[in-house]
């Protein structure tokens, strides 16, 4: 006599999805109550919403400083610092680890071992410094053009960072390791759902840019697309070199998309 099949896990609710998104992608005090594929699917679809919140917090800090009389450079530094604080620097750490792994030129297993080490190598240090300098420089230029323009750039960057994670969680993208966040979310999101979330993110970016006029709405949507393309190129490189995604790869994708969005926002 065969044992009865186990009951399938319950479908994830909207609350489960939001808890997963904010509980794994931010340090906001949101309890993570489920860690299964259903919750991961919903959470990664809700990732752009978490990006909007992080980007809005970053924008608020820059706006506040400019209202208090701070210059564009100081506002830019604060705007870059807020997402780092709200993620405990995990995305920046992932970027450094991926830079060390890819820069090592070693086979996938050795590169993954290098990425798992707690120290940061020369590739990681240089990548971190250049990325943070690029983010600050791009935001400072945006703030020089106006406080609202700088704030819009911050929101779009936060949105781009997490939307890149939604796309990287789509079906067909494997995990490079059998454990960790990468394994939990790799391939969890159906492709149509990922594209729908991306379309909604584009609408949100355009609506944010509309605060500056019709052209800015198109500009912000274009900046988001450019950011997602940059992240997709890095994702393809990681799939080729590492065999798939890891938590560090997700962090690197977020920082790459954020930086690319900020750079695109500086272009006329």
Residues constituting the chain: 268
The residue whose two tokens read 């420089």 is 137
The HSE-up count of residue 173 (CA atoms within 13 Å, CB side) is 29
Paired tokens of 248? 């560090």
The pLDDT value recorded for residue 35 is: 84
Distance, CA of 160 to CA of 182 (rounded, Å): 19
Distance, CA of 135 to CA of 255 (rounded, Å): 10
The residue whose two tokens read 């820069």 is 103
CB 141 within 8 A of CB 155: no
CB 157 within 8 A of CB 55: yes
Paired tokens of 15? 């609350």
* Residue ranges of the chain whose pLDDT lies below 70: 1-9, 268
CB 185 within 8 A of CB 20: no
The residue whose two tokens read 């059998």 is 178
Burial of 9 (0-12, 13-18, 19+ CB in 10 A): exposed
CB count, 10 Å around CB of 115?
Answer: 25
The pLDDT value recorded for residue 198 is: 97
The pLDDT value recorded for residue 9 is: 60
Distance, CA of 87 to CA of 65 (rounded, Å): 21
Q: What is the mean pLDDT of the chain?
A: 92
pTM above 0.85, yes or no: yes
Paired tokens of 7? 């009951």
């Amino acid at each position: 006599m065969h044992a009865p099949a186990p009951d399938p896990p319950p479908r994830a609710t909207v609350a489960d999805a939001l808890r997963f998104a904010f509980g794994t992608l931010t340090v906001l005090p949101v309890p993570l109550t489920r860690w299964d594929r259903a919750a991961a699917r919903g959470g990664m679809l809700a990732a752009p919403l978490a990006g909007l919140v992080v980007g809005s917090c970053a924008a608020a800090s820059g706006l506040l400083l400019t209202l208090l009389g701070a210059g564009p450079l100081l506002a830019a530094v604060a705007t870059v610092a807020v997402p780092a604080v709200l993620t405990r620097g995990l995305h920046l750490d992932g970027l450094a680890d991926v830079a060390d792994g890819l820069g090592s030129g070693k086979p996938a297993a050795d590169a993954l071992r290098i990425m798992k080490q707690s120290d940061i190598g020369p590739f990681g240090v240089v990548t971190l410094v250049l990325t943070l300098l690029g983010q600050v420089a791009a935001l400072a230029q945006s703030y020089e053009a106006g406080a609202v323009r700088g704030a819009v750039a911050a929101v779009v960057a936060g949105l781009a960072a997490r939307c890149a994670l939604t796309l990287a969680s789509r079906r067909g993208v494997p995990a490079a390791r059998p454990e960790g966040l990468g394994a939990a979310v790799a391939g969890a999101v159906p492709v149509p759902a990922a594209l729908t979330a991306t379309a909604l993110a584009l609408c949100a970016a355009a609506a944010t840019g509309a605060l500056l006029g019709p052209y800015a709405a198109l500009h912000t949507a274009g900046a988001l697309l450019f950011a997602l393309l940059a992240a997709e190129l890095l994702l393809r490189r990681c799939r080729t070199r590492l065999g798939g995604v890891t938590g560090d790869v997700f962090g690197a994708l977020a920082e790459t998309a954020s930086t690319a969005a900020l750079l695109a926002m500086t272009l006329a």
